[in-house]
Chains A and B, each alone.
Chain A
């Protein structure tokens, strides 16, 4: 089995101080928000992982924790076996070169005062040093994302959203990473452009053996593109597995509701929509989904469900399937 384990997150949690009183906040007491709760994940080389969930589920925070733009409150991050949870400065250098991120909001992802050329050359210089043909490399990177060299002298405000997004991808690729996290890379794009970018990303995964993680609320996209799906709700992983397992042998009630909520076109007209009422709440005790779950049991409101293995890679955290089976 030649599967390289690139990245491993073990029970990673992130807790924010959200007390309205600033004094309490700076002292670290008062109201807290657990944005990410005991998130565990193994990323093997070549994976394309889809992290899905709705607003407030913690997926963007998880991304920031993985790339270490945020420090974890609890848990461990291992990169190629090395514990980098507390690492800073020079120890982070190899990690920084190999793990990159493409951001969601293309309008703030590029420095408005730098031309595309400068943004790309900066990145290339950090990776390759001051070698002569950096501009040529920049043009190649743009070509990979489907943009021409005429983009180089332009400022971000003179580009369309789709073009900015691609420049963001080119910048991430400039560092020649092993692992890229993409935070909603196509959701702000026109529908007819999404397929173009999806095709580029698919190509990158195959040609460059790039490991990727997609953060998205679009189940159909993740189903199409990824070979592993992780579903989050209110900071916790509720289900994970291959697309076939998660989408067609769905175990968790939230995942079922999510799948049912996706518009089905003509077919949807004939079926009434099974609708999830209310909004996301972190209930504190027990399963976060219990208040909205159509099948909640009394135990669901008291004890946090543990992760259970079903078939293959399929894992779910739900009392309904937990008959005393171990992980």
Chain B
């Protein structure tokens, strides 16, 4: 199989809260193999978006990565300076953000922004870059690519803008694509179009993708494997089948039962009491303990150690009750 494309080890990211550096990501480790589509699942306070930004080297001071390594293509991204990181960003690792409105500069045409990205990272001439831009817009299913190139961002609908940002992310043929909740802001039928697009792109380009979302069902449709984060830690990880058919962590289990879903007849939704943890509110022990119906003394005191059954990892003391 070869070594993984991306390997994150014991990543810790902290932000200042009332003067003290408080960890938002508390020692996570995961890896992505070439060609995989891996989902990163979590809610507010889980640390999922921050992890993505860390991989891109986009954690702005005063926040900082305080520990861990991010191995990408044989290099530790943490050792790179800003200039070297800029070469990696956009060219080898690309990101698609949630809000298609803020992804683009509202005063420049789509064309000029696309060309800028392509010419910054590759050595194409203006004509070649334009050709590539049109190619990529067609690839993402936009009708009339040349017209889109001349448009300003506000002239496109939300779905079209998001397609364009996917196109922009793919323009330089990155090895790794990070998608941070790319369909959350879109209508459900447009979301379905995006899912179809992602599948198509996966088939054609085989881009390794890290797909961040809070929607379990959406993740299951697109990803092979998934990582569930809560309170800055990975609570469970495994194939999508593992997570759906045999969830080992109480959070994962409750997540599937607390949302109304079509085709699933249930009269009562499982209610997870309490709120997702705010930054800095987690004391020792398991971050999910305050809300967990199965919590006992050990959960409060010690952070659960990770167990693994094959590729299925989880961190929970339940087995030791």
**The stretch of A89-97, A130-138, A257-265, A306-314 that contacts the partner chain:** A257-265
The closest CB in chain A to the CB of B184 belongs to: A187
Contact between B215 and A221, CB atoms less than 8 A apart:
no
Which A residues touch B244, using CB under 8 A? 265-266
Q: Is B192 an interface residue (CB 8 A)?
A: yes
- Chain A, residues 194-219, CB within 8 Å of chain B (1/0): the string is 11101100000000000000000111
Contact between A260 and B192, CB atoms less than 8 A apart:
yes
Which B residues touch A218, using CB under 8 A? 188, 260
Q: Is A224 an interface residue (CB 8 A)?
A: yes
**The stretch of A80-88, A118-126, A149-157, A271-279 that contacts the partner chain:** A271-279
The closest CB in chain B to the CB of A197 belongs to: B271
Contact between B269 and A199, CB atoms less than 8 A apart:
yes
- Chain A, residues 47-89, CB within 8 Å of chain B (1/0): the string is 0000000110000000000000000000000000000000000
Which A residues touch B218, using CB under 8 A? 263
Q: Is B136 an interface residue (CB 8 A)?
A: no
Measured between alpha carbons, how far is A283 from B187 in the docked complex, in Å?
20
Q: Is A40 an interface residue (CB 8 A)?
A: no
Q: Is B158 an interface residue (CB 8 A)?
A: yes
Q: Is A220 an interface residue (CB 8 A)?
A: yes
Of residues 234 to 286 in A, which have CB atoms within 8 Å of B's CB atoms?
247, 257-269, 273, 275-277, 279
Which B residues touch A247, using CB under 8 A? 262
Contact between B271 and A195, CB atoms less than 8 A apart:
yes
Which B residues touch A262, using CB under 8 A? 188, 217, 262
Q: Is B275 an interface residue (CB 8 A)?
A: yes
Interface residue total, chain A, C-beta cutoff 8 A: 40
Contact between A263 and B260, CB atoms less than 8 A apart:
no
Q: Is B263 an interface residue (CB 8 A)?
A: yes
Q: Is A27 an interface residue (CB 8 A)?
A: no
Q: Is B132 an interface residue (CB 8 A)?
A: no
Please pick, from A195, A198, A199, A261, the residue contacting B189 in the complex, using a CB distance under 8 A.
Answer: A261
Q: Is B58 an interface residue (CB 8 A)?
A: no
Smallest CB separation, B76 vs chain A (Å) = 33
Q: Report how many A-B pairs have Cβ atoms within 8 Å.
A: 120
Measured between alpha carbons, how far is A192 from B276 in the docked complex, in Å?
8
Contact between A263 and B220, CB atoms less than 8 A apart:
yes
Please pick, from A54, A162, A273, the residue contacting B275 in the complex, using a CB distance under 8 A.
Answer: A162
The closest CB in chain B to the CB of A247 belongs to: B262
Measured between alpha carbons, how far is A89 from B239 in the docked complex, in Å?
61
- Chain B, residues 186-197, CB within 8 Å of chain A (1/0): the string is 011111110110
Contact between A195 and B270, CB atoms less than 8 A apart:
yes
- Chain B, residues 9-51, CB within 8 Å of chain A (1/0): the string is 0000000000000000000000000000000000110000000
Q: Is A225 an interface residue (CB 8 A)?
A: yes
Measured between alpha carbons, how far is A63 from B188 in the docked complex, in Å?
21
Measured between alpha carbons, how far is A41 from B220 in the docked complex, in Å?
38
Of residues 264 to 296 in B, which have CB atoms within 8 Å of A's CB atoms?
266, 269-273, 275-276, 278, 291
Contact between B262 and A259, CB atoms less than 8 A apart:
yes
Q: Is B159 an interface residue (CB 8 A)?
A: yes
Contact between A190 and B188, CB atoms less than 8 A apart:
no
Smallest CB separation, B144 vs chain A (Å) = 12
Q: Is A160 an interface residue (CB 8 A)?
A: yes
Of residues 208 to 237 in B, which have CB atoms within 8 Å of A's CB atoms?
214-218, 220-221
Which A residues touch B278, using CB under 8 A? 160
**The stretch of B62-70, B83-91, B111-119, B251-259 that contacts the partner chain:** B251-259
Contact between A194 and B259, CB atoms less than 8 A apart:
yes
Contact between A54 and B189, CB atoms less than 8 A apart:
yes
Measured between alpha carbons, how far is A223 from B217 in the docked complex, in Å?
17
Q: Is B261 an interface residue (CB 8 A)?
A: yes
Contact between B193 and A217, CB atoms less than 8 A apart:
no
Q: Is B146 an interface residue (CB 8 A)?
A: no
Contact between A261 and B259, CB atoms less than 8 A apart:
no
> Do A276 and B275 contact each other (CB < 8 Å), given the known contacts A262-B262, A264-B221?
no
Measured between alpha carbons, how far is A198 from B158 in the docked complex, in Å?
28
> Do A264 and B271 contact each other (CB < 8 Å), given the known contacts A54-B188, A195-B258, A257-B189?
no
Which B residues touch A276, using CB under 8 A? 189, 192-193
The closest CB in chain A to the CB of B159 belongs to: A279
Q: Is B93 an interface residue (CB 8 A)?
A: no
Seen from chain A, the residues whose Cβ lies within 8 Å of a Cβ on chain B are 54-55, 160, 162, 190-196, 198-199, 217-221, 223-225, 247, 257-269, 273, 275-277, 279
Seen from chain B, the residues whose Cβ lies within 8 Å of a Cβ on chain A are 43-44, 157-160, 187-193, 195-196, 214-218, 220-221, 240-241, 244-245, 254-255, 258-263, 266, 269-273, 275-276, 278, 291
A sample of 26 cross-chain residue pairs with beta-carbon separation below 8 angstroms, ordered by A number, consists of A54-B188, A55-B187, A160-B275, A162-B275, A190-B44, A190-B214, A191-B258, A192-B276, A195-B258, A198-B269, A218-B188, A220-B259, A220-B260, A247-B262, A260-B192, A261-B191, A261-B192, A266-B245, A268-B217, A268-B220, A273-B196, A275-B192, A275-B196, A276-B189, A277-B193, A279-B159
Q: A192-B291, A261-B188, A266-B241 are in contact. List 20 more A-B contacts (CB 8 A).
A: A54-B188, A54-B189, A190-B276, A192-B43, A192-B258, A192-B272, A194-B259, A196-B271, A198-B269, A217-B188, A218-B188, A224-B266, A224-B269, A225-B260, A261-B191, A262-B262, A263-B217, A273-B196, A276-B189, A276-B192
